[in-house]
Amino acid sequence: MKKTVFLFIVASIILTASFTMKTEGDPQKPWVVSDAAKNKKNPISSNATSIAAGKTLWNTHCKSCHGSKGLGDESKSAQLKTEPGDFSKAIVQDQTDGALFFKISEGRKDMPSFKKKLPDEEDRWQLVNFMRTMKK
2, part of any domain: no
DSSP state, residue 33: -
Q: Is residue 128 part of a domain?
A: yes
> How many domains does the chain divide into?
1
pTM: 0.76
Q: Is 95 inside any structural domain?
A: yes
Q: Is residue 119 part of a domain?
A: yes
Which three-class secondary structure state does DSSP give residue 81?
A: coil
**60 falls within a domain:** yes
CATH number, domain containing residue 57: 1.10.760.10
According to DSSP H, which parts of 1-136 are helical?
Answer: 2-24, 35-38, 48-61, 63-66, 90-93, 97-106, 121-131
Q: Quick one: which of 96, 101, 103, 135 has its CA closest to 121? A: 101
Q: Establish if 79 belongs to a structural domain.
A: yes
Residue 71: is it exposed, middle or buried by C-beta count within 10 angstroms (0-12/13-18/19+)? middle
Question: Do 86 and 69 form a contact (C-beta atoms < 8 A)?
Answer: no
Cβ pair 132, 125 in contact under 8 A = no
- Print the domain residue range for 86: 33-134
- pLDDT 10s digit of each residue in the chain, 136 long? 665 544 444 444 443 433 333 334 454 578 899 999 999 999 999 999 999 999 999 999 999 888 899 988 877 767 777 778 899 999 999 999 999 999 999 999 888 999 999 999 999 999 999 999 998 7
Residue 62 belongs to some domain of the structure: yes
For residues 67 and 77, the answer to whether their CB atoms sit within 8 Å is: yes
Does residue 19 lie in a domain region? no
Task: Report the distance separating Cα 136 and Cα 122, nearest Å.
Answer: 25
